[in-house]
Structure formats: structure tokens, C-alpha cells
Structure 1
């Protein structure tokens, strides 16, 4: 123990202790701690998005960095195990042994439930497919009165019902109604009928009046159908929804019919 003979000796002892404490503090914070934590030494994070996982792992290992997969998804237009995102971003300054959080592209697509496209329009089907990460494939128009309506949905040639499991990113082919139907019947004969009655008869059979042409030189009573196309010939067939053009006697201005 120090022997204290006077007040001056006390001051000397306190001064020595203060120097020792200051030296310890300086040594810990400015010598030991920086060397233990690599103070001031940082690593620039490399860009690993777009790389394969094995290549990225090798690159990070060379720079004394680690990685952690915190997410995965499936993108059909990118390679399996391709790195999609990283955090921290490329160029960020980090310390040695820092974890780089990444998301990767899965090798196999996850299975999802097929949405209901049937009875909706093609445009609506496209929006639904996109929201489910599915892709629109071939559109085939088939005879049906529902024009532009989705009738059936297929994946790899197999009809898929709503709720069936399909791979995410699958290509979905559609059968769509052409608005005509496939029921054929004989062409009705409306020649000789007043144009308004002919229009009612055609509509009643699921047909549409097409173009109306007026013939002022006709000797038939004004407003009479004098010709039609298609013609009402033997074995002539027509389908629901098709058009029938009419030729009508008289002037268009007189009839006022478009």
C-alpha cells in the first residue's frame, strides 16, 4: 500500500490513478475494441440478383459474407434457384460476416386452385389469369350463342374445372363462344311479306336482319320483301344468330326503315 505522508502525496496518488484509468479507457475504446470489431473496415455488398444460388454463395464466401433465404417464389420466365432480390442492396457498406437476405426462384411451381373463367368474357379471363400468375394460351372459337363468353378451360389439353389444382404459371387454353350456335335449320322464306312482319319472323327464329336495300322499280306493293339473302332454297341451311339481307320495294325515305 501507498504510504501517505502529506496532502501532496494524496494528490500525487490520485493523479497516478487518473492516468492509469485514462490509459485503460483509451486502450479499450481506441485499441482493443476497434481491432476486435474491425472498426472502420467495411465490405461493399456485391450484386447477386440474377445469379444462380451456388455462384452467389461462392462470391459471398470470398468476401466473408453470408446469405439467408427468407423468401421464395416461382417465375416461369426465370431459371430455377435464380436470386430474385437481395437486402442489403448492391453497393451497401457492411461489416464482415454480415448476412445478406435473399429470395430465390423455386425449381418447381407451387400448385394453386384454378379460378372460374367460365361464363365470363375473354377480357375478364385475361385479368383473372394474370392475378393468379397463370398465362393465357390458345383461344378456340366454337359454335355457341354466348358470343365471346368462355365455355371451357384447358391445361395441357385436359379440361380443368374451377377449383382443380394446377401449377402456378400454367398456360390455360380457352374455348370461347362465337355467338352463332351450332343448330342449323332451313332458311325461312320471307319474300312477299311486309318488311316489318318479315323482321319479326326472322327475330323469332333467332336470326338477325342484315342490310335492307330498297328497290323503287319494283311493281310489288311498297314495303314488300322482294328478295332475300341467303335464299330460301331446298336444303339451304342457316344457323341461329346469322344475318339475312332483305330487298324491299319502294323508296327508303318512304319506309323510314333502316
Structure 2
């Protein structure tokens, strides 16, 4: 079997196969060199800080392609200025290689205006700030929607929700300040329904019930009655009911009288006018603070002194002496010098409490 492998025919076929394989590989590499311009490299020119028009012209002259990216705006640089390039300048690339350029756009990328109409102004301002829009002037306008955003203005023109504006643009916001009071009702009798709607809207009222006499919805019908009446005073946003027909007011006199009996109040002028008097405002009485009761200090009680009792001894007298003394006033044996009258015969008050007690002295009674 080994002898058959070294046959000259087998060796010839093997050499032919090897030569064909080597030739195919050589041709493949030659084709790649020709197709990829192997060995032919071009230095990348520096186009940073140049305008995009000038950078494109330089790259095309050097046989290079380009790609422009302008997704992010930088206000520090000029619009359409080349900020970066890839590959960097000085690199060697093949002919036809695309160079990526990052260019500063003319302004910020546009953003969509959020739908904040008829929303509370506080939440609306927060939503506008989140998308990158700055609120400039806040314009207050009479409206029944108090503190609600009515319109968004950009350079004086209204912008609808979803419209595109440059990022960080300054916008003006119209906010409702509440309804106006005491507005005169306009007269729309004699106008068409279409014109009456416009007049009512300009007067800051709303159209309520619109009743057509023939049951149609023709906007060209003439208004022959309205409620409230023209000249009345109402607040902004009140509804006005309308009655329209193709007939003349003379032909609808009975209908107008019927509506007057329903919607118009008859005032009896025979009664005397009512006079109203202003009632003085009741003032609450002012109560003075009650003084606190004074505490009475206890009065010192006088010191009571008792006079010492004295015992008097009655001297023995004779019967003759008793007889003689019956005709004379009797004298007390307990008299003290303080209560004697010194022969005047008038009794004196007892001053025992006022004078200090004195020890009585014994006196002798002389009987004549």
C-alpha cells in the first residue's frame, strides 16, 4: 500500500493540488489589496473650530467622506462650528474613509409644548420647566377659571399643545384671574344666531339654551327673545338663553308675551317705595374689671381689766346712832375717791375701765 502512495501519478496530482491552493490564496490577497487600497493611506486634516461648510470642503478635497452629528447645543461656541472629529487630526486613513464631525447646532433642540391648558398654574409652570421652557411674563385675564392657564404665547403668538419650540425658549403664560362682576348684558335681539354667539363671547358670557321656533338648527334664524334681558347686570361666565325664528317679532307677539310672563318680573309701582335705614352696628358693652375685695384686718379688742373686789367691814353702831342717821342721806361704805362728788351730791359715772384699778383705802365713818 505504501508503494502505491509513492507512485509518480499520485505525487503529481498532489503537487498540482498544492499549486492550485497557493495560487488561489495569492490571487485573493492581491484582490484585497486592490479593493482596499492596501498601503494607500491619507493623513486626516485638522478641521476643528472651523465652520461645517469649510470642514466638508477640506475633507472632500482629500478624498474623505464625513458624517455630521449636531444633537447637542453648546452656547459657548458659534453655531455650525466643528467641536470634535473622529479619527483625530494627524491619523492616517484609507481613501474614502468617513470622518465623524460633531458640530454645534444653530440653537437648542426643539421640545414639544406640554398640554397644560385649563390646568392649575402651579402644576403647569412646573411641567413647563421640566421640558426646558422658561416662563417670562404672567398675564392675568378675567375668566371663570381662576388660577388656570388659558393660553401660552411665544413671541406674542399663541402656541398649541404639542407644538415645537427651541429648548430654553422664553414663553408668556395667560392665567385666569377670576370672573368679572357686574357686566352689562348685551342686546342680541334682531341678530342672527351666528352673530349673537360672537357678541356673547366678546361680552365674556356663554350661550345657553338656543330654541328655534320651527325646530331647526339654522344659524341664520333671527333672535326675537333673550334671557336675561339686555341691560341687566350679571357676572362673567353666566349663560344667556336665546329664542330664534324666521318670523318677524310682530308675528311672534303672543309668544313674546308668554315668555315675558315667565322670565320678566312685574313690579307693582302703586306701592310706596321702601326706605331702608341703616341699623347702627351693635357694640358689645365693655365691662370694667371688678376690683378684688379688700381683706379686713381684725380690729384689736380692748383689754378688759376687772376691778378687784373689796370687802368692807361694817362698824357696829348703836341704836341711837341709827336713828340719827335715818334722817340723813345714806353714804356708801364702798365709795372711792374717783366716784366721790366732793360734797356736790351728784353721782358720777363709773370710770373703772378707763382708769387703772386702785387699791381701795379704808375710811372711817364718823357718826355724829
TM-score range, shorter chain: 0.3 to 0.5
TM-score (norm 2): 0.32
- State which structure, 1 or 2, has the greater radius of gyration over its C-alpha atoms: 2
TM-score (norm 1): 0.42
Structure with the higher strand share, 1 or 2: 1
